[in-house]
């Protein structure tokens, strides 16, 4: 009578890695899994590994989440196994590394039991498993089903690759069909005897495969019962095709007119209704590349036999995405060219270098930065009164003070007390860099295009010095005399269209800065004060910011501070 055994599947020996990250959980609760089927994929800083299921059964619980760090012995999931365990099921399956650093037989000796079954459920003889050893198995070209010669068109593995039984080793093609040579056992490729383009005949050497050999020592002391690790002591419930080197390889007709008996395809077909990541037919190298590129393999179409995904399929998928046509959800649709001359007379002029550079910067920022724009109005009535009192002095000093000078000071002060705005995200998005200096860029409208000279240490300068510098840099920009270093190092940008007009606009963040203040033309507006409407000079402000670096609360505080300073510039003294 068959019994149900609950077992905890644990993280096996990680071959030296103290901790690894769970990057993929390939199964779900309720899934029926076959022995050796990948259940979890983990990644250390050196390699990624598939953890195979040690026994066939049903997943009843999952103890980890993607992204979790785990170490040897940590519980991964609960497995309900029908019937009784056999010796091989009680052995920890070594994780299958996509890119093992070295196939170290000594390491293989460290294999520990992965499945911790309730001891009461185990027969005493089933717990006795001796240390494994390894043997080299030569993989040769099998019976070619009538073809004399075939061409090797793809080497699917490299020396050092750890592969599973049934994984493709090479892809061969005759003039009628393509065929894959599946690995007869799980193991490590220690040598390859062929190259792509080789012409191969039956019996030719293909690869050396190092397989694990287990000496199973039952309680009855039948020490001579030596089995390979891939050969279970009792038949497994869902065996994978395990052709030996003398068996015919599975052929897939190029024109696919004749349906072929193909165990791998059948297995995939059977699982097609269970939409899981394991439905994808791909080797460890392709899976690793997919993870690197962030590609969901279930979306990639195979061009190879039996739906097996090759690296080229992945590259083509990414290439198509990047150069996608004008489809929703694809890459950015291109604006189709238009012959405007059909509608009237036109003049075509080449874009200046500056214009092209500005366009590229704007586009990059627009695409990369999640922009939010916040609006407010500053009451600058008193500021304007104060500015008027300076008219004579301005004439005497020959320095013009406009609202822009006060804006610069207000922004510098707000940057000092709101560091979130005086920062940049690192290019890799892993950190944020807070600047301990306050350099502010000033957008200048010039005949050649937009230029942004940078005023250094605005927080340390007085209004007169600042006004002089604003004028000097604006003149230099307009006469194209700015030096490169005068346009570098900005922490934040002020873009004032106040002298031109408009009630408001949404400026684009000048990356890698995280904020930009747009200033529009002041308007006299009725403001309710002391029980009546009074005319006040209101300055429209629009603050755009990079919502990856700055949150709404930061922006609200930053803007409120600027508005408060502009309403009463004595605050700059505080
Ligand atoms: N509301 C009303 N009037 C304003 C004002 C405002 N917000 N800001 C400035 N003014 C007034 C000034 O006081 C000045 O008036 P007076 O001549 O009577 O004193 C007049 O507008 C013109 O000022 P200005 O433009 O010469 O000087 P500025 O200090 O205001 O600005 C600069 C300097 C360099 C910012 C400006 O010349 C400029 O180039 N602005 C355009 C910026 C731009 O293109 N931004 C868009 C970038 S994205 O494409």
Ordered DSSP codes for 547-574: TTT--HHHHHHHHHHHHHHHH-GGGGG-
The model carries a pTM of: 0.52
- The verdict on domain 130-227+244-249 having CATH code 2.40.50.100 is yes
Q: Which of 499, 510, 516, 521 to mutate to test the pocket of ligand 1 (most atoms within 8 A of CB)?
A: 499
What stretches of 257-332 show up as alpha helix (H) in DSSP?
A: 263-270, 284-293, 311-322
Distance, in Å, from the CA atom of 410 to the CA atom of 559, rounded to the nearest integer, reads 10
Backbone angles phi, psi at 557, to 5 degrees: -65, -40
355 classed as catalytic: no
Kindly report the CATH class assigned to 4-95.
mainly beta
Distance, in Å, from the CA atom of 13 to the CA atom of 70, rounded to the nearest integer, reads 11
Closest by Cα among 31, 28, 12 to 20:
12
CA nearest ligand 1 atom 23, residue? 499
Distance, in Å, from the CA atom of 14 to the CA atom of 571, rounded to the nearest integer, reads 61
Cβ atoms of 515 and 544 within 8 Å: the answer is yes
Sequence-ordered list of residues with C-beta below 8 angstroms from that of 559, at least 6 positions apart, any chain: 374, 376, 541, 543
If one looks up domain 355-573 in CATH, what number appears? 3.30.559.10
Kindly report the number of other CB atoms within 10 A of residue 51's CB atom.
27
Q: What is the DSSP string of 71-128?
A: -TT-EEEEEEEES---GGGGSPPPPEESS-S---HHHHTT----EEE-GGGS-GGGG-
Query: Can you read off the two tokens belonging to residue 143?
Result: 């019976």
Residue 292 is classified by DSSP as H
Atom of ligand 1 nearest to the CA of 495: 45
Residue 437, SS3?
coil
CA torsion through residues 467, 471, 474, 476, sign: negative
What was the pLDDT predicted at 260?
34
Closest by Cα among 515, 559, 518 to 369:
515
Distance, in Å, from the CA atom of 130 to the CA atom of 270, rounded to the nearest integer, reads 36
Q: Do strands 371-379 and 444-446 pair parallel, antiparallel, or not at all (unpaired)?
A: unpaired
Beta bridge pairs of residue 213: 133, 228
CA nearest ligand 1 atom 25, residue? 499
Instruction: Tell me the CA end-to-end span of the chain in Å, nearest whole number.
Output: 86
CA nearest ligand 1 atom 16, residue? 402
Domain boundaries, the chain: 4-95, 130-227+244-249, 280-328, 355-573
CATH topology identical between 130-227+244-249 and 280-328: no
Cβ atoms of 139 and 208 within 8 Å: the answer is yes
Distance 533 CA to ligand 1 centre (A): 28
Q: In what order do the strands lie in the sheet with 96-97?
A: 69-70, 20-25, 38-43, 48-52, 96-97
Residue 420 is classified by DSSP as G
Closest by Cα among 122, 42, 30, 119 to 78:
30
Residue 17, SS3?
coil
Tens of pLDDT along the chain (574 residues)?
A: 557 888 899 988 887 788 888 877 888 888 888 888 888 888 776 666 778 888 888 888 888 887 788 999 999 988 888 765 444 443 334 444 443 333 333 333 332 323 333 333 333 334 344 455 788 999 999 888 778 888 888 788 888 888 888 888 888 877 766 677 888 888 889 888 988 888 999 999 999 999 887 544 333 333 333 333 333 333 333 333 333 332 323 222 222 222 333 333 333 333 333 334 446 777 666 777 887 788 888 888 888 766 778 878 888 888 877 766 555 556 678 889 999 999 999 999 999 888 999 999 999 999 999 999 999 999 999 999 999 999 999 999 999 999 999 999 999 999 999 999 999 999 999 999 999 999 999 999 998 899 999 999 999 999 999 999 999 999 999 999 999 999 999 999 999 999 999 999 999 999 999 999 999 999 999 999 999 999 999 999 999 999 999 999 999 999 999 999 999 999 999 8
What was the pLDDT predicted at 90?
35
Could you tell me the CA-to-CA distances from 383 to 244, 380, 392, 530, 538 in Å, in that order?
A: 90, 5, 16, 20, 11
Distance, in Å, from the CA atom of 567 to the CA atom of 574, rounded to the nearest integer, reads 14
Which helix (H) or strand (E) covers residue 417, if one does? Answer: helix 403-417
The C-alpha torsion from 229 through 232 and 233 to 236, rounded to 10°, is: 160
Pocket of ligand 1 (CB under 6 A): 402-404, 442-445, 450, 470, 474, 495-499, 519, 521-522, 539
Beta bridge pairs of residue 165: none
What was the pLDDT predicted at 325?
59
Atom of ligand 1 nearest to the CA of 467: 29
Q: Which of 377, 402, 410, 486 to mutate to test the pocket of ligand 1 (most atoms within 8 A of CB)?
A: 402
What is the architecture, at CATH level 2, of domain 280-328? Irregular (4.10)
Residue 458, SS3?
helix
Distance, in Å, from the CA atom of 365 to the CA atom of 549, rounded to the nearest integer, reads 14
Residue 308 is classified by DSSP as -
Beta bridge pairs of residue 62: 77
């Amino acid at each position: 009578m068959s019994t149900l055994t609950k077992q905890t599947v644990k993280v096996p020996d990680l071959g030296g890695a103290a901790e690894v990250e769970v990057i993929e959980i390939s199964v779900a609760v309720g899934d029926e899994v076959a022995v050796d089927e990948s259940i979890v994929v983990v990644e250390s800083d050196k390699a990624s590994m598939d953890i195979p299921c040690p026994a066939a059964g049903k997943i009843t619980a999952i103890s980890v989440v993607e992204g979790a760090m785990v170490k040897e012995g940590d519980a991964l999931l609960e497995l309900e196994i029908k019937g009784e365990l056999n010796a091989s099921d009680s052995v920890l399956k070594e994780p299958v590394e996509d890119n093992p650093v070295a196939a170290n037989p000594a390491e293989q000796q460290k294999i520990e039991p992965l499945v911790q079954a309730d001891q009461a459920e185990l027969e005493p003889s089933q717990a006795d498993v001796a240390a494994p050893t390894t043997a080299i198995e030569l993989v040769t070209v099998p019976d070619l089903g009538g073809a004399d010669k075939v061409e090797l068109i793809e080497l699917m593995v490299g020396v050092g690759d750890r592969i599973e039984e049934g994984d493709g080793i090479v892809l061969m093609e005759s003039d009628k069909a393509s065929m894959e040579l599946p690995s007869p056992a799980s193991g490590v490729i220690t040598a390859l005897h062929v190259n792509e383009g080789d012409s191969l005949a039956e019996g030719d050497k293909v690869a050396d495969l190092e397989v694990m050999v287990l000496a199973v020592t039952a309680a009855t002391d039948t020490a001579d019962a030596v089995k390979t690790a891939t050969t279970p002591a009792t038949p497994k419930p869902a065996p994978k095709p395990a052709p030996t080197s003398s068996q015919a390889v599975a052929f897939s007709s190029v024109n696919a007119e004749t349906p072929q008996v193909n165990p791998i395809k059948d297995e995939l077909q059977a699982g097609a209704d269970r939409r899981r990541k394991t439905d994808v037919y791909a080797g460890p190298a392709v899976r690793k590349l997919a993870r690197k590129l962030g590609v969901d393999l279930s979306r990639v179409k195979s061009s190879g036999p039996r739906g097996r995904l090759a690296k080229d399929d992945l590259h083509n998928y990414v290439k198509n995405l990047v150069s996608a046509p004008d489809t929703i959800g694809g890459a950015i649709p291109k604006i189709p060219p238009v012959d405007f001359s059909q509608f009237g007379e036109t003049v075509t002029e080449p874009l200046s270098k500056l214009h092209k550079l500005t366009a590229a910067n704007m586009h990059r920022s627009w695409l990369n930065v999640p922009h939010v724009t916040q609006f407010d109005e500053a009451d600058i009535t008193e500021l304007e009164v104060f500015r008027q009192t300076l008219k004579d002095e301005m004439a005497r000093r020959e320095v013009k003070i406009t609202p822009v000078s006060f804006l610069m000071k207000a922004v510098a002060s707000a940057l000092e007390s709101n560091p979130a705005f005086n920062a940049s995200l690192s290019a890799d998005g892993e950190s944020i860099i807070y600047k301990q200096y306050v350099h502010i860029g000033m957008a200048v409208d010039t005949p050649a295009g937009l230029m942004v000279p940078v005023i250094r240490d605005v927080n340390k300068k007085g209004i007169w010095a600042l006004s002089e510098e604003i004028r000097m840099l604006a003149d230099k920009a307009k006469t194209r005399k700015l030096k490169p270093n005068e346009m570098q190092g900005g922490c934040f940008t002020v873009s004032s269209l106040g002298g031109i007009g408009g009630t408001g606009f949404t400026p684009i963040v000048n990356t890698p800065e995280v904020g930009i203040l747009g200033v529009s033309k002041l308007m006299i507006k009725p403001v309710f004060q002391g029980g009546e409407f009074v005319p006040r000079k209101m300055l429209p402000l629009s603050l755009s910011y990079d919502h990856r670096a700055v949150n709404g609360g930061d922006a609200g505080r930053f803007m409120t501070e600027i508005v408060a300073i502009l309403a009463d510039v004595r605050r700059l003294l505080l």
